[in-house]
Amino acid sequence: MVQLKQFYQNEVIPALSQEFGFKNRMRVPKVSKVVLNMGLGEAVADKKILENATNDLELISGQKVVITKARKSIAGFKIREGWPIGCKVTLRGERMYEFLERLVGIAIPRIRDFRGLSPKSFDGRGNFAMGVTEQIIFPEIDYDKIDKLRGLDITITTTAQNDKEGRALLTAMRFPFRAMSTVIDQTRSKQEAPVQEVTTEKEASEEDSVEAPEVDSTESAVQEVPAEKEASEEDSVEAPEVDSTESEEEEAPVAEKATEAIPAEAAEVESIDSLKQEASAEKNKEES
């Protein structure tokens, strides 16, 4: 008997019966089948691709594969109805448990940058689906003998009634799921990121409104009028108006002084001329 199947019967069934309160062992969910599928759209141009893919899938599953054909013609993908476009295999019973044991114990730990299976990959009825990007994670595949890296889809069908029972079943069978807390935190962070941006924008707008409040135009006009009045009052204080009559009275004595100064200078000139004439007359008398 496969170790995983024995582990399910001895450990998983009692644990799930106690967790969900199942009174009948047949009510406990179990894995009914596993489907492996490879999509090969490029096989339309080259038939060797389909042959190599079927060989890889047979090595992985240990069972004869089935060629899947197109159900209808699609011009965009250049395929016609009935053309081979992939291969699949369905595992049940002992081979199913053998594959799950190799998947959990060997293949999944060899996935690069593996951080755990997503607990959200259930379909709502307890069935789980996962994708593998490289077939070389399985020990049956020799890297030197493959022509190309190919991925495949793995679908695990269970008898669970809902996702909670299906997740509990696969977790009990040692499937490495990511913790729900981390998944919830990631979803919350994605949801809260835009909310935080909106709040920061609101806070910034509020700060701007506080720093630079809006001023009513009427208030500014009212406030500017007293300022103009004050400026005019200052100008009136600094430069008082002078009466024109006073300025004329002050200028009149200055003109009188100027007229008085002119006759005095003329009298001096006349006295000098008279002295010169007297001196010349005395000289003439002496000569005579």
Do both 90 and 195 map to the same domain? no
Residue 190 resides in a domain = yes
Sheet holding 84-91, edge to edge: 66-69, 84-91, 31-39, 152-158, 128-132
Instruction: Please indicate, yes or no, if residue 38 is contained in any of the structural domains.
Output: yes
Q: Encode the chain (288 residues) as per-residue pLDDT tens digits.
A: 578 999 999 999 999 999 999 999 899 999 999 999 998 877 767 788 888 889 999 999 999 999 988 888 888 877 788 888 889 999 999 999 999 999 999 999 999 888 999 999 999 999 999 999 988 999 999 888 888 888 899 999 999 999 999 999 999 999 999 886 544 455 556 666 554 554 555 555 565 555 544 545 444 444 444 444 444 454 444 444 544 444 444 444 544 444 454 555 556 666 777 777 877 777 777 775
What pLDDT, on the 0 to 100 scale, is given for residue 161? Answer: 92
Between the alpha carbon of residue 189 and those of residues 86, 87, 182, 185, 204, the distances in Å are 39, 40, 10, 6, 22
> Do residues 193 and 168 both lie within one domain?
no
Amino acid at residue number 188: R
The residue behind tokens 């008279």 is 274
| CA distances to 1, 169, 171, 213 from 97, in Å | 10, 14, 15, 73
- 30 and 76 in a single domain? The answer is yes
pLDDT at 129: 94
Q: How many domains does the chain have?
A: 2
Domain span including residue 47: 3-178
- Are residues 122 and 87 both part of a single domain? yes
Do 82 and 191 lie in a common domain? Answer: no
C-alpha closest to that of 83 among 68, 93, 94, 103 = 68
Same domain for 83 and 57:
yes
Domain end among 154, 178, 202:
178
87 close to 68: Cβ distance less than 8 angstroms: yes
- What are the Cα distances from residue 81, in Å, to 6, 41, 48, 49, 54? 45, 13, 20, 19, 20
Q: Is residue 275 part of a domain?
A: no
User: Has residue 81 been placed in a domain?
Assistant: yes
Q: Are residues 99 and 111 in the same domain?
A: yes
